[in-house]
Structure 1
Amino acid sequence: MKYWLLGLLFVFISSLSFALSPQEQKWVEAVRSVYGQRAAKRVETWRSEMADYQSLSEKQKLEKVNQFFNQLNFVNDINLWGKNDYWATPLEFLGSNAGDCEDFTIAKYFSLLELGVSDNKLRLVYVKAITLNQFHMVLAYYEKPSAEPVILDNINPVIKRASTRKDLLPIYSFNGKNLWLMKSNQGQLAGESSRLSLWNDLRDRERSLNLNKPIATYD
């Protein structure tokens, strides 16, 4: 077989491997209609990267997802959404090309869930960033229930054990089901995460594919 024909065959097979599913195509079209073509391309890149991450080890998945989303712009909610506190869905975050610490953390959380990381191993942790003297959110990963977690953060891009992050004071944490007060590494169970109104609003928008448009552009 001619080399050029082999090359065409390789390109064809590669394009098939990165084909979007009907659901993914729906996401891309929804983002394009609200945020434009560049935003739609970011979603396509996210989906392509996620396909590449599927075969990686759990540790590698953490590293890749952390690196991918940390490329986006940090912008406070009041400047981006005109609100003091707004939790964006991953599609809103990618569509806007910007967000605050909650948006980075939420996008990483949902991406890791999709990659097969158990919800029992993940917690979104609300902390006090002591050096910055402000509230902040990070994602914690517990390899085992009793293990010390490692922290995925947009301020410090290096994934580190929680005990080395002396600059963070945990307040509460949650995942898809439960809510904990962080009096220890594991925390004290304080009920279900559905107690958090911002979380409920986020999940509703995620399910309905209701995308809001920010008041400022960072594309």
Structure 2
Amino acid sequence: MPDPVPVTSRLGQLACQSLQLLLLLAALCMGIASVRSVESDIVLPARVLAAAELKYGAGARERLAAWQQLVGSAHGRLEADKLRLVNDFFNTIPFVSDLEHWGREDYWATPTEMLASNGGDCEDFSIAKYFSLVALGVSIDKLRITYVKARDINPVSQAHMVLTYYATPGAMPLVLDNLIPEIKPASQRPDLTPVYSFNGDGLWLAKARGDGKAVKGGSGNISLWRGLIARMGKEFD
């Protein structure tokens, strides 16, 4: 199926790759793809914790247990608190490029892989925050994984990914970023130029720093998501 819009950059290619499988990923990760908003605990089997510890050391078990505890303890909190708690939690994980961490150019890690291995890149941060907030009952209508061009990084513009949160439809989104720990409105992040955004329901072309224009159509190559989905729940089998 052709791409819904002309794709001229890696940003656009990755966004188009992601559209159709996001809802399935949510189902496999949290078991909640059939609902808009519900709180759900993250429960990792003892064998997963043991296998993570065996592969990555005692710190892996501790980080995964802390993730479960974070989600369990944040149920019923205000959404602003949930955003802050999740953003702060994952931003303690070191940034490591895919090539250095996984030995390949592009690898989208599951939240379990990211935490166990204690490293990830911008895609991994955004994905882990997204599914953690979904587990905390934040509606997927309010969340979008957003591809941007980030200025002043080493020191040129680079492809980057953040998670954006819309309190209401069409509102100025808040940006959850691993580069800057503070959650800020997109209007206060002039260093980021939005390109595409997506969630379990759709794909949007960027429109300034607001809601954007919905794009209809299928996706192209979905190998990154297919690989991610295949690993969900099987990271240590």
Q: Give the shorter-chain TM-score range.
A: 0.7 to 0.9
Distance 1:114 1:21 in 2: 7
In the alignment, structure 1 residue 41 sits paired with structure 2 residue 58: no
1:204 corresponds to which of 209, 212, 230: 230
Cα deviation, residue 180, structure 1: 1.5
In the alignment, structure 1 residue 55 sits paired with structure 2 residue 76: yes
User: CA RMSD of the aligned region, Å?
Assistant: 2.2
In the other structure, the counterpart of 2:128 is 107
- Structure 2 residues without counterparts, runs of 5 or longer: 1-40
Conservation of the 8 A alpha-carbon contact between 1:146 and 1:186: yes
Distance 1:98 1:26 in 2: 21
Tell me which moved more, 192-201 or 135-144.
192-201
Cα deviation, residue 63, structure 1: 0.3
Distance 1:116 1:69 in 2: 18
- Structure 1 residues without counterparts, runs of 5 or longer: 1-19, 213-219
In the other structure, the counterpart of 2:197 is 173
Output the amino acid matched with 1:197.
Answer: S
Distance 2:211 2:224 in 1: 23
Aligned pair in 2 of structure 1 residues 47, 187: CA closer, same or farther (>3 Å)?
same
**Greater share of helix residues, 1 or 2?**
1
Output the amino acid matched with 1:181.
Answer: L
Matched position secondary structure for 1:75:
coil
Deviations 1:35-84 (A, max 9, x none): 33320121011111211111210000000000000001011111111111
Distance 2:94 2:107 in 1: 16
Cα deviation, residue 22, structure 1: 6.1
Distance 2:105 2:218 in 1: 21
Number of residue equivalences = 192
In the alignment, structure 1 residue 72 sits paired with structure 2 residue 98: no
Cα deviation, residue 30, structure 1: 4.3
Output the amino acid matched with 1:100.
Answer: D
In the other structure, the counterpart of 1:138 is 162
Conservation of the 8 A alpha-carbon contact between 2:93 and 2:119: yes
Distance 1:160 1:91 in 2: 27
1:89 corresponds to which of 98, 110, 116: 110
Conservation of the 8 A alpha-carbon contact between 2:173 and 2:185: yes
TM-score by length of 1: 0.80
Distance 1:200 1:77 in 2: 17
In the other structure, the counterpart of 1:6 is none
1:189 corresponds to which of 214, 218, 225: 214
Output the amino acid matched with 1:93.
Answer: M
In the other structure, the counterpart of 1:10 is none
Tell me which moved more, 175-184 or 164-173.
175-184
Output the amino acid matched with 2:88.
Answer: Q
Distance 1:174 1:76 in 2: 22
Cα deviation, residue 209, structure 1: 2.1
Conservation of the 8 A alpha-carbon contact between 2:86 and 2:133: yes
In the other structure, the counterpart of 2:22 is none
Distance 1:190 1:29 in 2: 43
Cα deviation, residue 33, structure 1: 4.4
Write out the 4+ residue segments of structure 1 that deviate beyond 4 Å after TM superposition: 20-24, 192-196
Cα deviation, residue 201, structure 1: 2.5
Matched position secondary structure for 1:99:
coil
Cα deviation, residue 118, structure 1: 0.6
1:149 corresponds to which of 173, 177, 182: 173
Conservation of the 8 A alpha-carbon contact between 1:124 and 1:173: yes
